Amino acid sequence: MKKATKLIVLILPFFFGGFGYALGQTNFYEGKTIRIIVGLSAGGGYDVYARTIARHMGKHIPGNPSLVVENMTGAGSIIAANHLFKIAKGDGLTIGHYLGGIALQQLLGKPGIEFDALKFKYIGVPAQDNFIIGVHKSTGITDVNSWIASKQIVKFGGVGAGSGSDDIPKVLAATINLPAQVVSGYKGTADTRLAFNTGEVQATSNSWESTKSTWRNELESGTLKVVLLATLKGHPELPNTPVSYNMAKTDEARKLMATVLRANSPTVRPFVAPPATPNDRLQILRKAFMDTMKDPEFLAETKKARLDIEPSDGDELEQNIREMFKLEPALVNKLKDILK
């Protein structure tokens, strides 16, 4: 009897300790507000994904906190990433959403980057982007091969190095001789769309997933003509559109293109937390994020908004980032010249 009593005494602290831990996490988020800092302007694809997630994720977090979206634009979302790394509190109440390609820019030594992508706490991505190259109907371009043959230089709207809007046209120009000129500095894809419609630029490099939703009018009116998939393989919704990777003629061109395309696909839409975020709260956010990706109400809203959902969890996202930093020095130096 004494042994049984002693065993109960030993077990109870662990039992109630675990109960207290779970209760503590519920109490922590109860009545709180989580900020999602989006590094690009309101109305663009990143903003739309973040706001849609914010409307549903709270119900999957113990304590049901509110989620709000704040836009912190500038330098192709580097300002937002720097803020998340250096200033934002790592208390589980701040999430960042920025251009995933800027992690590659860190590897390439871009000035102004004050974050270390290997130290962020990764929550997940909602979609795997498939970039397209689209041109304005006023250019008269109807297919990519005749465009390349004509050497007709077309201006693209860009938001900054590290963005697929900038890096992809540049690497395509270097690898398949696409006659592209990037006009960078726009605050987001909503701004590049406005520039496209006013004639400041005549082309866009944007994800098909975002284009279907936020460039719907341009697609339906025929103002935007999709002439190339900037991808490693085809897409079932664009079966007759050429694939850029298949157009590369050399092994070096394929490696260079593949590196940039990967940086703008599985890692392009990261949701991350500051480095100091406690692991227990990170796990709560990771689980809530992936539960949101399966939420019927969330999926119904994304379908209506034409937002594709192809999620990866935080572990897979983190692994993809780490793989990016294993590039051999020769390739890194080559990309520095191309993407500068």
Q: What is the 3-state secondary structure (H, E, C) of 169-193?
A: HHHHHHHHCCCEEEECCCCCHHHHH
- Residue 5 clears pLDDT 70, i.e. is over it: no
pTM (2 decimals)? 0.76
Q: What is the pLDDT of residue 301?
A: 97
Question: Taking the CB of residue 33, how many other CB atoms lie within 10 A of it?
Answer: 11
pLDDT higher than threshold 60 for residue 4: no
Poorest-pLDDT segment among 8-17, 201-210, 257-266, 281-290: 8-17
Environment class of 187 (CB within 10 Å of its CB; exposed 0-12, middle 13-18, buried 19+) = buried
- Checking if the pLDDT of 2 tops 80, the result is no
Task: List C-alpha distances in Å: 176 to 136, 150, 253, 339.
Answer: 20, 13, 8, 15
For the chain, give every residue range classified as CATH 3.40.190.150.
31-127+267-335
Q: Is 114 in a helix, a strand, or coil?
A: coil
- Does residue 7 surpass a pLDDT of 60? no
Going by DSSP bridges, is the β-strand pair 180-183/271-273 parallel, antiparallel, or unpaired? Answer: unpaired
- Looking at domain 31-127+267-335, which CATH architecture does it have? 3-Layer(aba) Sandwich (3.40)
The pLDDT tens digits of the residues spanning 237-272 come to 999 999 999 999 999 999 899 889 988 888 989 999
Q: Which band of pLDDT confidence, cut at 50, 70 and 90, is reported for residue 17?
A: very low
Q: What mean pLDDT is reported for the chain?
A: 91
Asked if the model's pLDDT at residue 62 lies above 80, the reply is yes
CATH code 3.40.190.10 region(s) in the chain: 131-263
Kindly report which listed range (23-37, 173-187, 210-224, 286-300) carries the lowest average pLDDT score.
23-37
What's the pLDDT score for residue 26? Answer: 55
Q: Which fold has domain 131-263?
A: D-Maltodextrin-Binding Protein; domain 2 (3.40.190)
User: Stretch 159-174: mean pLDDT, rounded?
Assistant: 93
- Starting from the edge strand earliest in sequence, which strands make up the sheet with 154-157, in order? 180-183, 154-157, 203-207, 131-136, 224-230
pLDDT of residue 178 exceeding 80, the answer is yes
pLDDT at residue 161 in the model: 83
pLDDT score of 9 more than 70 = no
What mean pLDDT comes out for the span 296-301?
A: 98
